[in-house]
A = this chain, B = another copy of it.
Amino acid sequence: MSLLQDGHLLPLAGIAEQRQEAWERQSVYVAANSALYQRLWDGKAPPRRLEDIAELPFSDKAGLRLAQPASPPFGDYLAAAPEKVSRLHRTSGTTGQAMNLAMSARDCEITEIVGGRAQSLAGLKAGTMVVHCLNYQMWMGGLTDHLTLERTGATVVPFGVGSTELLINTILETGITAISCTPSYPGVLERVIAEKFPHLTPRDLGLKLGLFGGEPGIDDPAFRKRLSGTWGMQPRNANYGVSDVFCNFASECAHDTALHFVAHDVLHVELIDSDSGTPKEVAAGNEGELVLTHLSRECQPLVRFRTGDIIRVENTDTCACGCAGFRFRVIGRSDDMVVVRGLNMFPTMVAAVVTSFDELSGDYRIVLDAPPPYDVLPVHAELAADGHDDGALTRRMEERFKQKLGATIRVKIVPHGTFPRTEGKTKRVIRSYQ
């Protein structure tokens, strides 16, 4: 395998040779064994040089989605013999059909080491006891993420979801000081503490480090501030991944809240314009869709896979933490992108404005009742439980939106409680015309 010892600490330029060798092995393997790529490449051989990879067409989620029911359960991009599959994870299917993810023992090991790099950057280390509270049922966030936590040298307690009262007792009884969970889980813990442990405050649990993943939200500075204020813990976005590629290949560190890419030895990165597919340089300030290629993967190798995630590159220098990978923020999903008079708008950008109004609950929807193009963005925003519309709220929101983002919104204020509270991922962009 092409995995290098502490590969995330090595500058990209310094590992070019290893990456080229990995690509030579991997591209020959994919061409020989992946029916999906044989089809997609029309039988043509992939370029020998990794730097020429843009000669190949993109692959995408839609292609994988079609491949699985046609060749169950793993699709014809399964490039290894079925006997090699060691672990089957399944995605929740919240944004479409559930996907069956196959990993060989070697795929598992690389996945765990790479995820461990991310969790280490986020602050986990030997001597810390961490409880892992993501769901162990099929989803990669459970079992495989657990094993990434162990790779940091920490003591890891498998817990999963539910049984919050038992969790609180377990934290108190064992000396757990770190939690790995979704950003929404501390809120659940706070409620259970208030109800069942009235003599305790969240701080009394003694958690010092929060490793978050599985949901967006942790990048909101107000939310982070509230978390550290209430709990006395350092919140870290510790677990960014794309389940078809790697469950975790980026996290923040104590020095920089941008996500650090930790997988250059096993993953090739491209940045493209999401509309045109035109390549963009991975350079500070550039925005684009993240496109990934496995340099080492046995079961379901992907080449030039469009992740659908739109990122902004913040920095390509080595961070003070030692990580040499580029740093970035996820600014949205290409599916959620709405172009308004040439400006790329994402729900997270709308959220930043909506949450700045105390009168609002923070919940909102972008409701598109006609196909593009758009010259204004229609937003439905919900009043807070004690929120009051003084009649000028709509105008003030429209002004702030224009000032912050340069686009025009058309706001409709809706009563508190209009939008259902969802577990899992909330769909923010409603295309009612479809």
Contacts of A88 in B (CB 8 A): 129, 155-157, 174
Please state if A158 and B136 are interface contacts (CB–CB under 8 Å): yes
* 22 chain-A/chain-B pairs, Cβ below 8 angstroms: A72-B174, A73-B173, A82-B127, A83-B126, A83-B127, A86-B150, A86-B156, A87-B156, A87-B157, A87-B158, A88-B155, A88-B157, A89-B158, A90-B170, A90-B174, A100-B174, A108-B150, A136-B137, A136-B143, A137-B163, A138-B170, A142-B158
Please state if A159 and B174 are interface contacts (CB–CB under 8 Å): no
- Is A153 an interface residue when CB atoms closer than 8 A count as contact? yes
A150 CA to B126 CA, complexed, in Å: 26
A37 CB, min distance to chain B CBs, angstroms? 22
Please state if A158 and B173 are interface contacts (CB–CB under 8 Å): no
Please state if A73 and B175 are interface contacts (CB–CB under 8 Å): yes
Question: Which one, B82, B155, B158, B173, contacts A155 given CB within 8 A?
Answer: B82
Contacts of A100 in B (CB 8 A): 174
A90 CA to B89 CA, complexed, in Å: 25
Please state if A137 and B150 are interface contacts (CB–CB under 8 Å): no
- Is A183 an interface residue when CB atoms closer than 8 A count as contact? no
Among A85, A136, A153, A160, chain B packs the most CB atoms within 10 A around the CB of: A136
Contacts of A138 in B (CB 8 A): 157-159, 170
A82 CA to B143 CA, complexed, in Å: 23
Please state if B155 and A87 are interface contacts (CB–CB under 8 Å): yes
Among A102, A105, A170, chain B packs the most CB atoms within 10 A around the CB of: A170
- Is A264 an interface residue when CB atoms closer than 8 A count as contact? no
Question: For chain A residues 146-164, which have a beta carbon within 8 Å of chain B?
Answer: 146, 150, 153-160, 162-163
Closest 9 CB pairs of A and B: A136-B136, A83-B126, A85-B155, A73-B174, A83-B127, A143-B158, A88-B157, A137-B160, A86-B150
A416 CA to B153 CA, complexed, in Å: 53
Count of this chain's copies in the oligomeric assembly:
2
Contacts of A173 in B (CB 8 A): 72-73
A84 CA to B162 CA, complexed, in Å: 29
Contacts of A157 in B (CB 8 A): 87-88, 90, 138
A98 CA to B68 CA, complexed, in Å: 44
Question: Given that A127-B82, A138-B158, A142-B136 are contacting pairs, would A87 and B170 also be in contact in the complex, using a CB cutoff of 8 Å?
Answer: no
Please encode chain A, from 107 to 126, with 1 for each CB lying within 8 Å of some chain B CB and 0 for all others: 01000000000000000001
Among A100, A155, A160, A173, chain B packs the most CB atoms within 10 A around the CB of: A155
Please encode chain A, from 363 to 381, with 1 for each CB lying within 8 Å of some chain B CB and 0 for all others: 0000000000000000000
Among A88, A153, A173, chain B packs the most CB atoms within 10 A around the CB of: A88
A82 CA to B163 CA, complexed, in Å: 27
A404 CB, min distance to chain B CBs, angstroms? 43
Question: Given that A73-B175, A138-B159, A175-B72 are contacting pairs, would A150 and B87 also be in contact in the complex, using a CB cutoff of 8 Å?
Answer: yes
A116 CB, min distance to chain B CBs, angstroms? 12
Please encode chain A, from 54 to 98, with 1 for each CB lying within 8 Å of some chain B CB and 0 for all others: 000000000000000000110000000011111111100000000
Contacts of A126 in B (CB 8 A): 83-84
A171 CB, min distance to chain B CBs, angstroms? 11
List 7 extra interface pairs beyond A136-B160, A160-B160, CB under 8 A. Answer: A84-B126, A86-B155, A86-B156, A87-B158, A88-B155, A90-B170, A136-B158
Question: For chain A residues 163-189, which have a beta carbon within 8 Å of chain B?
Answer: 163, 170, 173-175
A224 CA to B12 CA, complexed, in Å: 59
Contacts of A142 in B (CB 8 A): 136, 158
Contacts of A170 in B (CB 8 A): 90, 138
Please encode chain A, from 339 to 368, with 1 for each CB lying within 8 Å of some chain B CB and 0 for all others: 000000000000000000000000000000
Contacts of A162 in B (CB 8 A): 137
